[in-house]
Amino acid sequence: MKTTFAKIAVPKEGTLVLTALRGSKFTDTTKAVDRRMSGALRRAVKAAPRFTGEKGQFLEIVAPAGLRLGRIILAGIGKGSDFDRLALEALGGAMVKRVSATGESKVSIAVDAVSGVNVSVAESAARVAAGAILGSYRFGRYRTKEKPERKPSVTSVVILTDRVTEARKAFKSIAAVADSVNYARDLVVEPGNVMTPKALAGRARSLAKLGVKVDVLGKARLEKLGMGALLGVAQGSDQEPYVVTMQWNGKPRSKKTDLALVGKGVTFDSGGLSIKPASGMEEMKYDMAGSAAVIGAMRALAGRKAKANVVGVIGLVENMPSAGAQRPGDVVTSMSGQTIEVLNTDAEGRLVLADCLWYAKEKFKPGAMINLATLTGAVIVSLGYHHAGIFSNNDDLAWQLTSAGRESGEVVWRLPLGPDYDRQIDSDIADMKNIGGKGAGSITAAQFLKRFVGDVPWVHIDIAGTAWAYKDKPTNPRGATGFGVRLLNRLVAANFE
């Protein structure tokens, strides 16, 4: 799909999207088009009394004689103050989906200056365009016999604005983020037989062309480093494990690493010998969504030339049952030297992250660390599918991430940590065990990770409920969400640049 910007004018083909405020008040371009149509838009509104211009309302009419357009869609935007960055993106996404359902190939969206909107006209236009990119996402690589009428029809989106040059400039950095979200979505959707640890390491390696310094650590190097926790997870699979580091040095005069992003990359999680139920196991291809978010975030930072020094670290393994698989009751030694009694081989992500967090801390000495993982089903019980759960040893960093979530639309909710929870993972025969018994499963998992971060300000984000969407949203089609890319990008932009 091609996205471009043009001066405000009535297009000669396709669908034109115009806007109306609460109370059916027309914006300037809508008024101009209505005059050209001899008041046809006003008459259409009167004939549809339920359309009042509220945000999310739409009124579709066939273009009258004299215009070569196919149709006009009047989009309600509510009060001007309702129309923030997220609403602008939602407009772009909703319009592409709506027009695709008609079979039309071209949509033009007029973006006016609206009183009360605290976003510039240029950025508003760029946000609508970004929403179109996000909302039109579709993974069709393995479809070979799809009927034409089921395929998305929109091939061109034109954003009409009187600030074309400024909008194009704003769009460069915003598009870098939107494209990276879709890149992360692609990684998550790929099946486990394709997106193996080696393949995912290769996708991370491709960031080198953007100026990211990439290092891929294979099994021999991991053994030399003593990553016994991660290697224990991988030992049941024929697929070799990897740890990949990605460094973006946006402040080349500084040798300090501002932030480390650490991602869980279990490319398929059968549960190991503590095998999962067959029903729903196919979804475990997305147990690497944390690593995909880190790759996507690093791609976004490099794409928009972020002025921050950020490193991404991802641990890539496959968790499978076999004669060589890790057994419940085994004890492994992590890179930190701490020993772990593995009581459940399906609590494997925390073992992968334990070594990756320690490696990131010791190797890069970051000012702060954030890890992302589809870690526990318990967080879904707590928060459902709308918020990711966060856990932190630092109030300031937790608040910065919460604020970034509100601004990016990838919202998070902080859950507690504490000594009582920590005691739940004490082991009788080792330094700790990898599960904490009944209750507070997402919290005891976070307490486990906390033992590997030392005094570094740190946040753990459990994205088990947000990595995959089961319902369509304007900028989030059903399926992989790419959750974390926009969140981390916003965090860096607001606090580390």
Q: Phi/psi of residue 359, each to 5°?
A: -60, -45
With a CB cutoff of 8 Å and minimum separation 6, the contacts of 329 are 341, 342, 343
Confirm whether 213 is a catalytic residue. Answer: no
Do the beta carbons of residue 11 and residue 69 sit within 8 Å?
yes
How far is CA 465 from its chain centroid? 12
Three-state DSSP class for residue 357: helix
Note whether 397 and 390 are within 8 A (CB): no
Closest residue by Cα to residue 200 from 369, 297, 315, 303? 315
Residue 276 designated active-site: yes
3-state helix, strand, coil in the chain (%, to 5): 40, 20, 40
Pick the catalytic residue: 264, 350, 451, 490?
350
Instruction: Write the CB contacts of 410 (distance below 8 Å, at least 6 apart in sequence).
Output: 388, 466, 483, 484, 486, 487
Report DSSP state, residue 483.
Answer: T
Could you give the CA distance from residue 461 to residue 446 in angstroms, rounded to a whole number?
Answer: 9
Cβ atoms of 402 and 451 within 8 Å: the answer is no
**Active-site position among 25, 42, 198, 276:** 276
d(CA 193, CA 59): 45
Q: How far apart are CA 55 and CA 22, in angstroms?
A: 8
Neighbour tally for 164: CB within 10 Å: 17
Query: For the chain, first and last CA: distance in Å?
Result: 32
Q: Which amino acid is at 391?
A: F
Helix (H) or strand (E) holding 491: helix 485-495
Q: Which residues are catalytic?
A: 276, 350
